[in-house]
């Protein structure tokens, strides 16, 4: 590089340093502006987020495949080693489940009869969109995953994301080919739930730890460790009766829930499209949109 000499260099060096400092200050101000913008939660921020996730989705999808394959192979090896023990356990479980099946069939028939008797409005049908988990982002400050299904696949905001075990989270951002699912453990997650056999109403609120808290409980509610937690469907966003978790701690200070879901094996997520049948109402057998109470009259 040539060294600048003469009066020009005397001028350019301070100007350059000044410009550098100026750029730094502008970017600091820009960072603060972003914090305010993010807090205002405008459409613009969401668009920027979905643009980035849409852009990296194909790369993440390719990268996540080999990881999943290696993982599957390891799992298969482990399964092979304790095949006999697992077989025996499955036999026992099968026997137990057969009894449960009989009970469930009897209850379903009874339920149907009672529903007809009470002329209850049928629940909106569910349609599922399945997406592969391609991104596990967030670090210590947020809990969310990216799935490779987006608006073009019918994903919409606020759909419930579930696995065969239970509720995982809620769709918060939808791009064209990717979507972000806010997990129930995230600090911003709030889900209306019912607790235990007495079906106490509560809100399940995450706090970035593995076990979310139960909030806004009635003062004299009786909740014990071991109680089942399911979604309530209040607010009409989520389907009711999705399994969420089990109460592990029920003290004066905190009520905590251990989610059913096995985060380490969450390879696919099913996104429950709850409202669609009601909006489309193809055959008229589904109740028209509107509050169920009005439809009962």
Query: Is 14 a binder of other proteins (CB under 8 A)?
Result: no
State the minimum distance, in angstroms, from the CB of residue 207 to other proteins: 6
Select from 54, 64, 179, 257 the one that contacts other proteins (CB under 8 A). Answer: 64
CA-CA distance, 114 to 137, in Å (whole number)? 46
Q: Which stretch binds other proteins (CB under 8 A): 64-72, 113-121, 189-197, 224-232?
A: 64-72
Tell me the residue ranges of DSSP E strands in 67-185: 127-137, 144-147, 160-162, 167-174, 179-183
Select from 109, 267, 289, 294 the one that contacts other proteins (CB under 8 A). Answer: 267
Select from 54, 124, 144, 260 the one that contacts other proteins (CB under 8 A). Answer: 144
Residue 37's CB is within 10 A of a number of other CB atoms, namely: 14
The answer to whether the beta carbons of residues 178 and 144 sit under 8 Å apart is no
State the minimum distance, in angstroms, from the CB of residue 163 to other proteins: 13
Task: Give the distance, in angstroms, between the CA of residue 46 and the centroid of all CA atoms in the same chain.
Answer: 17
Select from 48, 121, 126, 287 the one that contacts other proteins (CB under 8 A). Answer: 48
State the minimum distance, in angstroms, from the CB of residue 63 to other proteins: 5
State the minimum distance, in angstroms, from the CB of residue 32 to other proteins: 7
Select from 294, 293, 286 the least CA-distant residue to 124.
286
CA-CA distance, 84 to 76, in Å (whole number)? 14
CA-CA distance, 153 to 270, in Å (whole number)? 12
Helix-, strand-, coil-residue percentages of the chain, each rounded to 5: 40, 25, 35
CA angle centred on 199, ends 194 and 200, rounded to 5°: 75
Choice between 210 and 290, CB closer to other proteins? 210
Residue 96's CB is within 10 A of a number of other CB atoms, namely: 10
Select from 4, 11, 17, 34 the one that contacts other proteins (CB under 8 A). Answer: 34
Residue 78-117 contact track with other proteins, rule CB under 8 A, x = bound: ----------------------------------------
Residues of this chain that bind other proteins (CB under 8 A): 20, 23-24, 27-28, 30-39, 45, 48-49, 52-53, 56, 59-60, 63-64, 67-68, 71, 133-146, 172-173, 180, 182, 187-188, 207-210, 263-267
């Amino acid at each position: 590089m040539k060294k600048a000499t003469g009066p020009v260099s005397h001028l350019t060096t301070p100007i350059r340093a000044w410009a550098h400092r100026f750029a730094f200050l502008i970017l600091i101000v820009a960072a603060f502006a972003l914090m305010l913008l993010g807090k205002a939660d405008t459409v613009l921020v969401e668009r920027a987020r979905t643009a980035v996730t849409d852009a990296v989705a194909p790369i993440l999808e390719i990268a996540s495949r080999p990881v999943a394959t290696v993982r599957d192979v390891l799992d298969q090896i482990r399964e092979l080693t304790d095949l006999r023990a697992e077989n025996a356990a499955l036999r026992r479980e099968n026997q137990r489940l057969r009894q449960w099946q009989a009970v469930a069939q009897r209850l379903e028939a009874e339920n149907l009869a009672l529903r007809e008797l009470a002329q209850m409005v049928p629940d909106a049908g569910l349609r599922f969109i399945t997406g592969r988990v391609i991104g596990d982002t967030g670090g210590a400050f947020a809990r969310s995953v990216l799935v490779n299904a987006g608006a073009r696949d019918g994903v919409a905001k606020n759909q419930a994301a579930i696995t065969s075990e239970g509720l995982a989270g809620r769709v918060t951002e939808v791009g064209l080919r990717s979507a972000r699912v806010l997990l129930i453990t995230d600090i911003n997650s709030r889900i209306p739930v019912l607790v235990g056999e007495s079906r106490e109403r509560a809100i399940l609120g995450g706090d970035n730890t593995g076990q979310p808290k139960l909030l806004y409980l009635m003062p004299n509610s009786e909740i014990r460790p071991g109680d089942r937690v399911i979604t309530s469907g209040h607010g009409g966003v989520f389907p009711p009766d999705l399994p969420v978790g089990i109460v592990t701690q029920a003290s004066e200070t905190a009520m905590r829930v251990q989610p059913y879901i096995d985060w380490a094996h969450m390879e696919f997520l099913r996104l429950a499209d709850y409202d669609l049948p009601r909006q489309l109402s193809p055959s008229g057998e589904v109740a028209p949109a509107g509050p169920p109470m009005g439809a009962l009259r």
